[in-house]
Structures are given as structure tokens and as C-alpha cells.
């Protein structure tokens, strides 16, 4: 075999492997989504949204868990978003080249990928131990700690994309820097910042590990933020690991619900980002 043929064959093999790898990756996505639909769709009934989590062996729904997840996600977003936006603003507008900014950026990126179960342990030590009991507040704080680095990162990135000419123009009109940031930079970067918040919500909507030791779970309807609160991920965990068929069906239903929510948020965020005014 001459050199030319050999090189062509090697190339053909390498390229086919690369195509196969891509197909393999996509196959997993399709498989996971397909089984979710197959098993979850049977559980999507009106009862799922109107009844409480049942004891084993009887019918029920996930209403209290859905409520708890929504409440905790909402509180976490309300705490995490302003925190993240302000910290991101500092990084982008006040400390592009400072040492302190670099350190914060570095630590933030590590928090972004840090194991979420560690966050759960931290909030357990911080709140649960001191309050003496598990609570929805602790769960929300744990989720907020996961929101913050995501929002910091996207806020900073988006503010960095705002052309300096815009800031200079506003400054030349005599507006103080805080007004330039709030009325010009934020407005120019708002789409990207909203994208970041949506991605953060998508991330915490399915987070389980940080809730295990903070919000715990609750079999009953509860609106008390100082008490343990049911939430979808932990209910799915508990029900899926149980030997009861009813519970497993509900777990699949909850899993489908979470996945659809998370994927919609993700795709929505991406669509919004691609309309964004400034692109790299």
C-alpha cells in the first residue's frame, strides 16, 4: 500500500470515529429523553398536580413537592440574582485589571464547578445546625449559593461586551458612573443578563444534592418556610429508590416534569442570547 492510500485510509478511519462519537453523544440524549417520555407520560395526570405525595401503596400526586420546588427556586433566585449582578458589575465595571478582581473571578469560576453537595454541607453547618432543624429557608439559601456564581459570570461577560463608546458617550453628558452603569450598561446588556438568570434557574430547578441536608423533605403540604419542605428532586430520589411501584411511577412523572422545565428554560435562554444585541 502506498503512502497516499494509507494516509487516506487513516483519515477516513479517524473521521468516521469522530462522526461515531458525535452520534454516540446524541444517542444518549435521545435515549434519556425517550425513556423519560415513555415512563413519565403515564404519570402526568390531573392528580399529579392536585394531590399530595401519598404513603406507599396508595394513589396521590406531587402537589406539595411541586409547590416546595417552586417556592425554594423563587426565593433562591430572588436572593441570588441581585447578589450575582452586583458582584458581576464590580468585576466588569470597577476592576477589569485589578488584582482583587482577578482573585474574585478565579474563586467564582471554582464555585461555578464546585460539587453542589459541598454547598449542602456548608448550609447545613451554617443554618441547620444553628436553627436546630431542617427548613425551606436553608434549602433556598443553598440553592441561592449555586445561583450566584452563574449570574456573576454571565453578568460580567455581558457587561464586557457593551462597547466602551456607549459608556464614554454617557459620561461625556455628565452623568455619574453609577448612572452610566445602571442606565446605559445594564440596558445594553439586559438580554444577556436575563439569559444568565434563566440558566441559573434551570440549574437549580433540578438540583438535589444541596437540598438533601437543608430542606430535607416533607410528606405533607407545608407553607412554613421554617419547617422542612417537600421538593421535587428529593421526592424523586426517595420514590425512585423505593420498592413501591406507585412511588416509582410518581418519580418518573416528577422526573419528566423537571426535565421539560429545565430544557425549556435552557432553550429559551439560548434563543434569547442569540437575539442579543452584542455578539462576540
Partner 1 sequence: MAADIALIGRSAAQRQRAGSIGDVVFRALTFLFALLVLLILGGVIVALIDGALPALRTFGFSFVITEVWNPVTEKFGALAPIYGTLVTSAIAMVVGIPVAFGVAVFITEICPLWLKRPLATMIELLAAIPSIIYGIWGLFVFAPFVQQYIQPAIIDSLGQVPGIGALFAGPPLGIGVLTAGFILAVMVLPFISSIMRDVFETVPAILKESAYGLGATRSEVVRQIVLPYTRIGVVGGIMLGLGRALGETMAVTFVIGNAHRISASILQPGTTISASLANEFTEAFGDLYRSSLIALGFILFIITFIVLAIAKLLLLRLQKQAGG
Per CB under 8 A, which of residues 128..147 are in contact with partner 1?
145
Q: With the C-alpha atoms ordered 262, 266, 272, 277, is the resulting torsion angle positive or negative?
A: positive
In whole angstroms, the minimum distance from the beta carbon of 193 to partner 1 comes to 14
CB of 131 to partner 1, least distance (A): 14
42, 74, 78, 107: which one contacts partner 1 (CB under 8 A)?
107
Alpha carbons 224 and 106: distance in angstroms, whole number: 37
d(CA 125, CA 138): 10
Name the segment binding partner 1 (CB under 8 A); options: 52-60, 69-77, 171-179, 185-193.
Answer: 171-179
Q: Which of residues 190-229 bind partner 1 (CB under 8 A)?
A: 202, 205-209, 212-213, 216
Among 55, 56, 115, 163, binds partner 1 (CB under 8 A): 115
Q: How many residues sit in the footprint of partner 1 (CB under 8 A)?
A: 90
Q: Which alpha helices (H) appear in the chain, and where do they start and end?
A: 3-40, 46-50, 63-89, 99-113, 116-123, 129-131, 136-161, 164-172, 177-179, 186-205, 209-212, 232-241, 245-275
For partner 1, the binding residue among 170, 193, 236, 250 (CB under 8 A) is 236
Residue pair 235/246 in contact by the 8 Å Cβ criterion: no
Q: Which is nearer to partner 1, 161 or 262 (CB)?
A: 262
Half-sphere exposure at residue 146, Cβ-oriented, CA atoms within 13 angstroms: 33
In angstroms, give the least distance from the CB of 234 to partner 1: 9
Asked if 1 touches partner 1 (CB under 8 A), the answer is: no
Amino acid at each position: 500500500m502506498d503512502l497516499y492510500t494509507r494516509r487516506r485510509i487513516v483519515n477516513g478511519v479517524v473521521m468516521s470515529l469522530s462522526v461515531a462519537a458525535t452520534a454516540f453523544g446524541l444517542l444518549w440524549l435521545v435515549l434519556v429523553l425517550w425513556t423519560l417520555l415513555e415512563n413519565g407520560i403515564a404519570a402526568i395526570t390531573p392528580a399529579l398536580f392536585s394531590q399530595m405525595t401519598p404513603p406507599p401503596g396508595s394513589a396521590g400526586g406531587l402537589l406539595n413537592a411541586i409547590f416546595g420546588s417552586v417556592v425554594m427556586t423563587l426565593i433562591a433566585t430572588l436572593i441570588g440574582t441581585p447578589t450575582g449582578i452586583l458582584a458581576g458589575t464590580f468585576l466588569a465595571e470597577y476592576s477589569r485589571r485589578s488584582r482583587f478582581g482577578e482573585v474574585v473571578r478565579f474563586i467564582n469560576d471554582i464555585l461555578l464547578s464546585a460539587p453542589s453537595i459541598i454547598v449542602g454541607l456548608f448550609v447545613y453547618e451554617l443554618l441547620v445546625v444553628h436553627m436546630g432543624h431542617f427548613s425551606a429557608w436553608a434549602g433556598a439559601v443553598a440553592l441561592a449559593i449555586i445561583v450566584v456564581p452563574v449570574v456573576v459570570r454571565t453578568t460580567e461577560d455581558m457587561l464586557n461586551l457593551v462597547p466602551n463608546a456607549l459608556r464614554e458617550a454617557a459620561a461625556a453628558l455628565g452623568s455619574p458612573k453609577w448612572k452610566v452603569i445602571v442606565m446605559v450598561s445594564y440596558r445594553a446588556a439586559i438580554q444577556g443578563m436575563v439569559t444568565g438568570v434563566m440558566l441559573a434557574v434551570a440549574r437549580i430547578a433540578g438540583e438535589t444534592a444541596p437540598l438533601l441536608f437543608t430542606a430535607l423533605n416533607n410528606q405533607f403540604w407545608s407553607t412554613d418556610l421554617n419547617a422542612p419542605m417537600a421538593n421535587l428532586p428529593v421526592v424523586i430520589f426517595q420514590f425512585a429508590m423505593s420498592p413501591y411501584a406507585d412511588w416509582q411511577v410518581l418519580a418518573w412523572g416528577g422526573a419528566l416534569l423537571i426535565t421539560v422545565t429545565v430544557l425549556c428554560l435552557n432553550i429559551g435562554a439560548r434563543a434569547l442570547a442569540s437575539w442579543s444585541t452584542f455578539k462576540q
